[in-house]
Amino acid sequence: MPKPAPDTQAAHSPNPVQWPLEAIWQAVAPTLPGFTCEMLTTVDSTNAELMRRFKGGHTEPTLLLAQAQTAGRGRLGRQWHSAAGDSLTFSLGMLLSPAAWSGLSLAVGVSLAESLDPACATERHIGLKWPNDLWLAGSAGSERKLAGVLIETASWEGIRYVVIGVGINIRAVHVPEGRQAAAPPGHLQLLAPTLDAPGALLRVLPPLVQTVQAFSEFGFEPFVARFAKRDVLANREVELSDGQHGQAHGVNIDGALLVHTASGMQVVATSEVSVRPGAGRANTEGQA
Ligand code: BTN
């Protein structure tokens, strides 16, 4: 039985965090043969490390968790900053062959949001900002990015390996001088004060694996309504990175954003989207 591999340095630190790798492995391995879990004290990026391993011939499904990343990667070539202990940073790597890939990052967001916030109360809940951000949402003017997802793929001899990287702010983070965003990032303990990083990992990981497997079989369509329930852009005035603006109208079955602009309904597959300042609630870009 391939055992989860706890990091030795972490095991000898004065107050080692208890990561529930065994419980995760027990929950996931029956449906994902060959699954392994590993925790590192430090790595440049869990996504980069899984990609290196794939290129070195490692194709087994793997959960790689890091207490700290020295070069965490965000979307669009950005950096992802996270302080050890304040965040949950992990990547799930596995072979995958869905009929279509579009919508995977949205399905991952749905899964994470539902696991961390099943109630989805109106006043304060985890919302989804297309394409792959989790926001702490609910009260006007207080929306904050809570988590981000970075999906990368690589192919070798006809097989495709996907790495799903997830960064979740757990506790209030200290943002270094000069890096402050317009608003401080959100963190999970504002919603669930007693939930720590190991508890959050145990909650999200088994359902995430199921989500990825369901996506592979059925595509994004089963997730459309679930995304819509938490869609923070719905019916709001948004601006696209090419300068177009209009009203957001949800996502289609491919996970593309629908935006009604002056020139008609646009189907936006890739773009940066922000809520227009002064048009609804505040535009909030989180730690990335
Ligand atoms: C984003 O919002 O830009 C995506 C951020 C994704 C960050 C996670 S942290 C774990 C994994 N490893 C990385 O280097 N990035 C992802």
**72 C-alpha to ligand 1 centroid (Å):** 6
In the prediction, which pLDDT does 281 show? 43
Helices 197-218 and 104-116 cross at an angle (nearest 10°) of 140
Q: Is 286 in the pocket of ligand 1 (CB under 6 A)?
A: no
In the prediction, which pLDDT does 1 show? 42
pLDDT band at residue 242 using 50, 70 and 90 as cut-offs: confident
**Which residue's structure tokens are 């919603």?**
191
| Three-state DSSP class for residue 109 | helix
For residue 2, give the H/E element and its range. Answer: none
pLDDT band at residue 17 using 50, 70 and 90 as cut-offs: confident
Cα(266)–Cα(252) distance, integer angstroms: 11
Q: Is 284 in the pocket of ligand 1 (CB under 6 A)?
A: no
Atom of ligand 1 nearest to the CA of 45: 14
Q: How many CB atoms lie within 10 A of CB 221?
A: 13
Can you name the residues that pair with 169 across neighbouring β-strands?
87
From 116, 134, 127, select the one nearest 196 (Cα to Cα): 116
Nearest Cα residue to atom 3 of ligand 1? 74
Q: Is 72 in the pocket of ligand 1 (CB under 6 A)?
A: yes
Q: Is 165 in the pocket of ligand 1 (CB under 6 A)?
A: yes
In the prediction, which pLDDT does 100 show? 93
Say if residue 233's pLDDT is above 80: yes
Q: Is 105 in the pocket of ligand 1 (CB under 6 A)?
A: no
Phi and psi for 168 in degrees, rounded to 5?
A: -125, 125
Cα(27)–Cα(30) distance, integer angstroms: 7
With pLDDT > 90 as the criterion, what percentage of the chain qualifies?
74
Cα(226)–Cα(116) distance, integer angstroms: 14
* pLDDT (mean) for 90-112: 97
Q: Are 189 and 117 in contact (CB under 8 A)?
A: no
**93 C-alpha to ligand 1 centroid (Å):** 13
